[in-house]
Copies of this chain bind each other. A is one copy, B any other.
């Protein structure tokens, strides 16, 4: 449905990863290989944490409704922003409107959230899902997607305090609601979320046939795949990249996140654990 990329590491010009690699996310917006759709032209988004100590921890976001591949503002920003942690997303709408408020990453305070996948029969489940959202959070929902609803449910369940159980409860609630409505196999997701320090990445689907999810083993591996990207030589071994599909052809550089798994990336470390909806 969509393709996304999350980076954490030494402050990097966003362009370095967003445009420069051969099968970059921008290339994937037109020619995705592992997704349900080859074209991801229904809007895009960028969320970045600033390097500038004067700026607070709130990430900046930039969203657009046209395709990423032709967007001159995105290209210019990517070439002028350095960041130690950023999310980028290209969207293939599953039917909801193409508008900025439906573009990922979604932001709440210092948190970002982006998603590839869908809730089956979302229109039928939408009312019950939204009514579960916390009263104080409800009016902050801006768009009409399942992805944003999942974010606000996870926030309702305590994402900011303890992300993994919050996402597990969110998925559990969606599955329970779907069961009440007779909707089979409702959840199909790879999700990334961050508070600006850690990145949590989830791969899960009710039917255990999830969208793909990968992360870079080490910078050494990335450098081997992308000798054409100068900036990679400057990276440290603490840098990590999580992606919907590998940026290049050499499989060694990226490790696939298994089904029903989440990973946490922090300060150059990453660990994986099982993901169990509640």
Q: Which residues of chain B have C-beta atoms less than 8 A from A61's C-beta?
A: 76
Q: How many copies does the complex hold?
A: 4
Partner of A30, one of B39, B48, B54: B39
Number of interface residues of A (CB under 8 A): 49
Is the pair B97, A76 in contact by a Cβ cutoff of 8 Å? no
| Given pairs A48-B80, A127-B138, 6 additional interface contacts (CB within 8 A) | A30-B41, A41-B67, A41-B70, A66-B67, A99-B99, A127-B135
Partner of A77, one of B62, B72, B144: B62
User: Which residues does A use to contact B, with CB under 8 Å?
Assistant: 13, 30, 38-39, 41-42, 48, 50-52, 54-55, 60-67, 69-70, 72-73, 76-77, 79-80, 82, 93, 97-101, 122-124, 126-127, 130-131, 135, 138-139, 141-144
Which B-chain residue is minimally distant from A126 (CB atoms)? Answer: B139
User: Cα distance A127–B60 when bound, in Å?
Assistant: 28
User: Cα distance A118–B62 when bound, in Å?
Assistant: 29
Minimum distance in angstroms from A134 CB to a CB of chain B: 10
A-B complex: 9 closest residue pairs judged by Cβ atoms: A60-B80, A123-B139, A99-B99, A127-B138, A41-B41, A70-B98, A66-B66, A126-B139, A97-B101
